[in-house]
Amino acid sequence: MKKPMERLRAIRVSKDDSEDSQPLSPVARVVEKDGEMRWVRTEVNLDNHVRFPVLDPKMESPDKFVEDYASNLTKTPISKSIPLWDVHLLNVKTSEAESTGLFRIHHSLGDGISLMSLILSCTRKVSDPEACPTIPTIKRRNPSNSGGFWEFLLKLWWLVLLCWNTIVDGLIFLGTIFFLEDTKTPLRGSLPLEATQRRFVHRTISLNDVKFLKNVMGTTINDVMVAITQAGLSSYLNRKYDDDKKDNKGAEENNNNLPNNIRLRAALMVNVRPSAGIQAFDDMMKRDSEARWGNQIACVLLPFTIALHDDPLDYVRNAKVVGDRKKATLEAKLNYLVAIFSPKYFIDKIMSKFPSRITLWFSNLPGPEEKISYFGHPVTFIAFGVYGQPNALIIHVVSYANKMKITLSVDDNIIADPHQLCDDLQNSLVLMKHAVRNLIF
């Protein structure tokens, strides 16, 4: 589904402007014709896109400056008179890198899969400067073809379960659009929600630790990241409710301050291309590609368990159950088809109502499997962030070499302490890792 930001109605060049239907986003600008926005080819003038501000290398807090700079970018839209992207090169040393490059790209140009493919095409391996990075792959389960009566019954049961789950998920999604909303928590803003200035904060965790949890618990990396998010949000909200009790009643600190039966859901972004995972950029630009460039994503509603567990691994077990359930549904493809073929007024209704019913957006994207360089400059980390949605919290996860970067995009009028939330997420992984080691040894 298209994200509720500065949306453009057209994503291809009109027939009057081009004879082919190849995506033209990096070298196209937007014009209004017959009341609709259309792409037209244009010449790219790098002076209109690349910003290189002169900075004081001895500034007091470089990390805070970069964070504030990125936040200020969310105040101004990208001009539609030029291709919808710009680059900001901040030559100041932070705690993580010698300098920082901020790429601001309009979401109409492509989704995370497309943009990651584009980034990888511009980079090379640090270990081999002439070689392109290894494309991350996603292994699919190969169904058994041994035949037999019991296998037939199993496949029949799977088909029935798939149909049933899709119907139930479709009804829940429809109900969410019209009346079913999440519990009011400190992570949700007051209605009506509006797109506001965002703040981006990020934290690096060990991908090896995440894989360690995955292998021991027999789950997926995405399930582990959902579990870490559930645990971190639970700790954060528990502290917030404890502060409210102290302010209102002067009560003593309590271990569990969470209300019962909190409904908190995330819109999980899912790639609906036939080919899973990141694809080579050249392959994505082919007309007959199964992993076509563009916006080919949909969202599924992912319920989060907000509770305090004595055993941190209960979050992983719960995430695995929910994850397996979401694998046995066509909710994402159903939502994608609805977005493609529904009338414009219905889609506008969805985009105006849906964000106000849920708490956050969540995505997990695989990145390069080894260290890379960008035009000869080694890359320390890759962090994705999105702004334009009215929700107070958006969480993006992207892997890079042996690291996992968690990025929070927050409305700091509602979430004033996003670094504390990052601490809670990081601490959740530490607790789970210790619990697994105790379980093994």
Largest CA distance in the chain: 73
Partnered with residue 206 across adjacent β-strands are 403
The tokens describing 377, both together, are: 């400059």
CB 27 within 8 A of CB 39: no
3-state secondary structure of 342: coil
The residues that are catalytic are: 107
Alpha helices in 34-106 (DSSP H): 62-73
CA distances from 170 to 143, 177, 205, 300, 331 (A): 26, 11, 35, 9, 6
The tokens describing 422, both together, are: 């990052």
Alpha helices in 328-401 (DSSP H): 331-341, 344-357
Report residue 80: phi and psi, to 5°.
-80, 0
Q: Residue 156: CB partners within 8 Å, gap ≥ 6?
A: none
> Looking at the chain, how many residues does it have?
441
